[in-house]
């Protein structure tokens, strides 16, 4: 028995001889699909996405109207050079190695702020993908406008998750911004709906203050000019909203706070949490909120969470959210499509997991140039965005796609939605988008986000239904009018013969009578039908109780 135990211990030691820590960079090197590098076309689009989103975030935080240049040069079969530059604030030289050569390092992840990038992985992922497909470093040019320009070549030390600086030159030039140049292999360029061109086109649509210049591998130059000179207000970090917080989050926040009492910790750490609300919470918990927050137990934090659920709070502040805006969506999307019908809607802000504020804006276009041409037919088109950044891939598992599919479009007069000339535009704004993966192309199926998207689409659907019913009634009236006028001509001729009166005068009198009759025909009934339809359709969101609404107040305390 003793010998058997000793043998088992030796076997266990042998099993753990290869036990070691793996760096995050090494993990992503072997699992690059998590970063969005899973196909030839998608990989190239992902590179452009990371360069552009970094440039937009930097310019907006610095209050600069973005000027972005993207170029793709063909160097051989599935071999390209990608270059990008912007007029942003530049990167201080001491931070360049971490920005481009270290995973999970950046200015975004730890802040509750609406930005396109979030994890501190994106542009470092570009560096990683470049070196594992070509073995070459990336080239970075940057200046903060201080008259000194730095040009650096670097690669990532996979085992240490840090940058190796291979070359660094400094010279004097009055220029400000950041540029990047990389070589990649095993990628593909085309002008399809998931390629870099379409990504940049949609980026320009959702960011009307941006000017993007693109030169493709054929040398074709496209300028997506800005349609607005208004710089969006810089994103503001916001505190978490109490609704939706979890126990673990309260525990971790309490450990990090500088407050000496749990009640002041709640007020200073959470938005919409006033002293009056803390007093309400005190009535629901069994312990004194004057205690040190770092000594809160798990069960006590559970009590706080339960008390929060019983307390009404003001809806989350919109201060940290910056929507595209209904006017800009209409100008950028709907006017281009020249639709028969259009509607734009921005929903009030809500919160999803962890008390994180988010907002949904949608638009729908029907007829005209809406939809996308497929062969000889037309299918509906869905344009998905998250924080104004286009989502071109992984549509099937996205919360936006599932919300669109959950709507009964037949109820609103669109009988064959999938095969109709319809374009649906959805943008989800949040200080933290719950992406399915680090590739940031699909939003996780968060119930509250899906509900908000669904309700917004139902509202624009109701607007189309009212338009459609008015149009149908107008067509019915016109049909009745033409029938009456046709019989009126025959009647005028007969009456003229019987009365020996002028046929043309009789015809005009009958036409006037028909016009008056049709114009005023069943006016009260029409108004009653329209009012009944509005009442019926307005009740839909209240009847849809699949996911309960958050409990908010709308008045100031």
User: Are residues 170 and 276 both part of a single domain?
Assistant: no
Q: Which residue has the higher pLDDT, 290 or 105?
A: 290
Q: What pLDDT is attached to residue 159?
A: 77
Q: 181 in a domain, yes or no?
A: yes
User: Are residues 290 and 181 both part of a single domain?
Assistant: no
Count: domains in the chain: 4
Q: What pLDDT is attached to residue 28?
A: 55
Q: 238 in a domain, yes or no?
A: no
* Cα 393 to Cα 512: distance, rounded to the nearest angstrom: 59
Across 75-79, 143-147, 549-553, the highest mean pLDDT is recorded for 75-79
* Cα 311 to Cα 316: distance, rounded to the nearest angstrom: 14
pLDDT tens digits for 153-174? 988 887 777 778 999 999 998 8
Look at residue 211 and tell me whether its pLDDT is greater than 90.
yes
Q: 411 in a domain, yes or no?
A: yes
Strand, helix or coil for residue 529 = helix
* Cα 498 to Cα 60: distance, rounded to the nearest angstrom: 82
All residues at 6 or more sequence positions from 281 whose CB lies less than 8 Å from its CB, including other chains: 266, 289, 304, 307, 308, 311
* Cα 65 to Cα 1: distance, rounded to the nearest angstrom: 77
* Cα 304 to Cα 280: distance, rounded to the nearest angstrom: 11
How many other CB atoms are found less than 10 A from the CB of residue 363?
A: 26
Assess contact for 350 and 447: CB atoms under 8 A: no
Q: Indicate which CATH number applies to the domain containing 283.
A: 1.10.8
Q: What pLDDT is attached to residue 542?
A: 41
User: Are residues 410 and 512 both part of a single domain?
Assistant: no
All residues at 6 or more sequence positions from 71 whose CB lies less than 8 Å from its CB, including other chains: 81, 82, 83, 84, 214, 215
- Above pLDDT 70, what percent of the chain? 72
Look at residue 547 and tell me whether its pLDDT is greater than 50.
no
Domain boundary among 461, 493, 525: 461
Q: List residues bridging with 492 in a β-sheet.
A: none
Q: 19 in a domain, yes or no?
A: no
Look at residue 129 and tell me whether its pLDDT is greater than 80.
yes
Confidence label for 553 from pLDDT (cuts 50, 70 and 90): very low
Phi, psi dihedrals of residue 174, rounded to the nearest 5°: -90, 90
User: Are residues 306 and 333 both part of a single domain?
Assistant: no
pLDDT tens digits for 423-480? 999 999 887 888 887 677 888 888 889 999 999 999 988 888 787 565 555 555 555 6
Q: What pLDDT is attached to residue 544?
A: 45
Look at residue 536 and tell me whether its pLDDT is greater than 70.
no
User: Are residues 123 and 59 both part of a single domain?
Assistant: yes
Q: 378 in a domain, yes or no?
A: yes
Assess contact for 422 and 473: CB atoms under 8 A: no
User: Are residues 534 and 423 both part of a single domain?
Assistant: no
What's the mean pLDDT in 228-243?
Answer: 77
What's the mean pLDDT in 220-237?
Answer: 82
Domain boundary among 314, 345, 370: 314
Q: Which residue has the higher pLDDT, 538 or 426?
A: 426
Look at residue 529 and tell me whether its pLDDT is greater than 60.
no
How many other CB atoms are found less than 10 A from the CB of residue 472?
A: 11
pTM of the model: 0.73
pLDDT tens digits for 73-125? 999 999 999 999 999 999 899 888 888 877 655 444 434 555 554 444 668 88
All residues at 6 or more sequence positions from 513 whose CB lies less than 8 Å from its CB, including other chains: none
User: Are residues 356 and 490 both part of a single domain?
Assistant: no
User: Are residues 443 and 487 both part of a single domain?
Assistant: no
364 half-sphere exposure, CB direction, 13 A CA radius: 25
User: Are residues 253 and 388 both part of a single domain?
Assistant: no
Range of the domain at 534: 466-552
Please choose, from the candidates 4, 320, 40, 56, the residue with its C-alpha nearest in 3D space to the C-alpha of residue 207.
56
Q: 213 in a domain, yes or no?
A: yes
Look at residue 551 and tell me whether its pLDDT is greater than 60.
no
Confidence label for 517 from pLDDT (cuts 50, 70 and 90): low
Confidence label for 520 from pLDDT (cuts 50, 70 and 90): low
Q: Which residue has the higher pLDDT, 495 or 205?
A: 205
Q: 7 in a domain, yes or no?
A: no
Q: What pLDDT is attached to residue 546?
A: 41
Angle of helix 447-499 relative to helix 503-520, nearest 10 degrees, comes to 150
Domain boundary among 413, 446, 461: 461
Assess contact for 387 and 433: CB atoms under 8 A: yes
Q: What pLDDT is attached to residue 556?
A: 36
User: Are residues 407 and 391 both part of a single domain?
Assistant: yes
User: Are residues 74 and 197 both part of a single domain?
Assistant: yes
Q: Indicate which CATH number applies to the domain containing 356.
A: 3.30.230.10
User: Are residues 436 and 490 both part of a single domain?
Assistant: no
- DSSP3 helix / strand / coil % (the chain, rounded to 5): 45, 20, 35
CA dihedral 398, 399, 403, 406 (to 10 degrees): 70
What's the mean pLDDT in 500-511?
Answer: 69
* Cα 175 to Cα 183: distance, rounded to the nearest angstrom: 25
Q: Indicate which CATH number applies to the domain containing 49.
A: 3.30.565.10
Please choose, from the candidates 247, 252, 414, 441, the residue with its C-alpha nearest in 3D space to the C-alpha of residue 343.
414
What's the mean pLDDT in 242-261?
Answer: 87
How many other CB atoms are found less than 10 A from the CB of residue 123?
A: 24
Q: 235 in a domain, yes or no?
A: no
Q: What pLDDT is attached to residue 80?
A: 93
All residues at 6 or more sequence positions from 387 whose CB lies less than 8 Å from its CB, including other chains: 114, 115, 116, 427, 428, 429, 430, 433
């Amino acid at each position: 028995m003793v010998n058997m135990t000793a043998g088992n211990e030796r076997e266990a030691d042998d099993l753990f001889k290869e036990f070691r820590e793996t760096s995050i960079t090494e993990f992503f090197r072997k699992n690059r699909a998590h970063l969005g590098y899973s196909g030839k076309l998608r990989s190239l689009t992902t590179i452009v996405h990371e360069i552009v989103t970094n440039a937009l975030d930097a310019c907006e935080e610095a209050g600069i109207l973005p000027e972005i240049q993207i170029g793709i040069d063909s160097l051989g079969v599935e071999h390209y050079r990608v270059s990008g530059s912007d007029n942003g604030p530049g990167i201080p030289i001491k931070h360049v190695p971490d920005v481009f050569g270290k995973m999970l390092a950046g200015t975004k992840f730890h802040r509750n702020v609406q930005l396109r990038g979030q994890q501190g992985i994106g542009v470092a992922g570009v560096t990683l993908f470049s070196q594992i497909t070509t073995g070459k470093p990336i080239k970075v040019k940057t200046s903060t406008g201080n008259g000194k320009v730095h040009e650096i070549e670097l690669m990532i030390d996979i085992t240490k998750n840090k940058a190796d600086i291979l070359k660094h030159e400094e010279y004097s030039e009055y220029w400000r911004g950041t540029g990047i140049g990389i070589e990649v292999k095993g990628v593909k360029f085309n002008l399809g709906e998931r390629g870099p061109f379409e990504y940049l086109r949609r980026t320009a649509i959702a960011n009307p203050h941006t000017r993007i210049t693109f030169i493709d591998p054929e040398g074709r130059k496209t300028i997506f000019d800005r349609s607005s000179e208004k710089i969006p207000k810089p994103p503001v970090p916001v505190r978490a909203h109490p609704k939706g917080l979890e126990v673990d989050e309260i525990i971790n926040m309490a450990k990090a706070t500088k407050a000496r009492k749990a009640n002041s910790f709640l007020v200073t750490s959470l938005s919409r949490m006033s002293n009056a609300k803390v007093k309400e919470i005190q009535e629901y918990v069994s312990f004194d909120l004057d205690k040190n927050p770092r000594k809160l137990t798990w069960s006590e934090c559970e009590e706080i969470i339960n008390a929060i659920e019983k307390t009404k709070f003001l809806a989350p502040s919109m201060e940290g959210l910056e929507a595209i805006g209904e006017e800009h969506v209409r100008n950028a999307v709907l006017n281009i499509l020249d639709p028969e019908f259009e509607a734009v809607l921005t929903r009030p802000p809500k919160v999803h997991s962890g008390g994180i504020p988010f907002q949904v804006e949608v638009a729908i276009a029907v007829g005209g140039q809406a939809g996308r041409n497929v062969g000889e037919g037309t299918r509906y088109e869905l344009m998905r965005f998250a924080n104004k950044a286009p989502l071109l891939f992984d549509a099937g598992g996205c919360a936006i796609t599932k919300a669109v599919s959950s709507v009964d479009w037949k109820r609103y007069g669109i009988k064959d939605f999938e095969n109709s000339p319809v374009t649906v535009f959805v943008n989800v704004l949040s200080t933290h988008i719950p992406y399915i993966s680090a590739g940031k192309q699909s939003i996780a199926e968060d119930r509250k986000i899906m509900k908000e998207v669904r309700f917004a689409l139902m509202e624009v659907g109701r607007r189309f239904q009212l338009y459609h019913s008015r149009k149908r009634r107008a067509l019915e009236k016109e049909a009745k009018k033409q029938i009456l006028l046709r019989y009126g001509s025959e009647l005028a001729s007969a009456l003229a013969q019987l009365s020996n009166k002028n046929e043309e005068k009789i015809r005009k009198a009958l036409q006037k009578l028909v016009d008056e009759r049709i114009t005023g025909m069943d006016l009260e009934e029409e108004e009653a039908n329209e009012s009944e339809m509005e009442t019926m359709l307005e009740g839909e969101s209240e009847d849809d109780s699949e996911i309960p609404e958050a409990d908010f107040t709308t008045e100031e305390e």
